[in-house]
């Protein structure tokens, strides 16, 4: 349908499995990994329910990908050492690029997307900023960082645990979930 055309025509909607496959090929050639962008919220607004479904698929794909990497680590040996080294090098390089401001445009785009999503979905984030900061921090807790000395074997289970927690919170249809709550509160107010 209309939504799928938008998704298929935009490389930022490739599945996590497709992105991982492309990035493995790029890294094998010594090329940098692809970075995805948030884009403009107004382009996504008509497709939020489809994006919700695609995100559920990506949670599963990412979990499988990380599990495969974790199996390599658990097996030990040269493959595990090469994986740990490559992951550390990539994250250290990306962190250096982030610190140097190379991702500022993408970061601003992401912030604006988030602000618009919240605003146009009934969340007045500019009135209660500490509350919204806590919600964001709760959704994205600190994880062990291999660019700060954590081992990949420590970081991966933490990431998997976080993925599992997030997957358990993702609703099939969040728009329907809160409509009954709104009806209840509206009835109570009258």
Closest CA to 36 of 5, 13, 53: 13
Q: Is 141 exposed, middle or buried (0-12, 13-18, 19+ CB in 10 A)?
A: exposed
Read off the pLDDT of residues 143-166 as tens digits, 9 standing for 90 and up. Answer: 999 999 999 989 988 998 998 888
Torsion of the alpha carbons at 150, 165, 72 and 77, rounded to the nearest 10? 30
pLDDT reported for residue 178: 54
Half-sphere exposure of 173 (CA within 13 A, CB side): 4
Closest CA to 146 of 101, 103, 83: 83
In the block, residue with structure tokens 């050492």: 81
178 vs 98: CA distance, rounded Å: 37
CA 110 to chain centre: 11
What does the block give as tokens for 33? 């990994």
pLDDT reported for residue 111: 96
pTM (2 d.p.): 0.76
pLDDT reported for residue 120: 92
pLDDT reported for residue 145: 94
Q: Which residues of the chain have pLDDT under 50?
A: 1-3, 185, 190
What does the block give as tokens for 91? 């994250």
pLDDT reported for residue 55: 82
What does the block give as tokens for 43? 């382009």
Residues 6+ apart with CB under 8 A from 88: 146, 147, 152
Helix (H) or strand (E) holding 39: none
166 vs 8: CA distance, rounded Å: 25
What's the chain's length in residues? Answer: 190
In the block, residue with structure tokens 């994205």: 140
Read off the pLDDT of residues 95-126 as tens digits, 9 standing for 90 and up. Answer: 999 999 999 999 999 999 999 999 999 998 89
């Amino acid at each position: 349908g209309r939504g799928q055309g938008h998704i298929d025509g935009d490389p930022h909607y490739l599945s996590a499995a497709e992105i991982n496959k492309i990035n493995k090929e790029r890294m094998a050639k010594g090329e940098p990994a692809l970075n995805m962008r948030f884009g403009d919220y107004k382009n996504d607004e008509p497709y939020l329910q489809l994006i919700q479904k695609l995100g559920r698929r990506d949670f599963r794909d990412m979990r499988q990908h990380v599990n495969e990497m974790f199996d390599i680590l658990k097996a030990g040996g040269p493959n595990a050492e090469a994986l740990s080294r490559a992951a550390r090098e990539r994250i250290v390089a990306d962190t250096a690029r982030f610190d140097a401001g190379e991702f500022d445009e993408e970061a601003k785009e992401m912030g604006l997307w988030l602000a618009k999503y919240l605003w146009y979905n009934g969340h007045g984030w500019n009135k209660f900023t500490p509350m919204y900061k806590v919600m964001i921090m709760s959704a994205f807790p600190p994880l062990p960082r291999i660019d700060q000395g954590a081992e990949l074997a420590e970081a991966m289970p933490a990431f998997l645990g976080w993925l599992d927690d997030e997957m358990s919170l993702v609703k099939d249809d969040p728009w329907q979930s809160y409509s009954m709550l709104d009806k209840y509160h509206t009835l109570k107010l009258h």
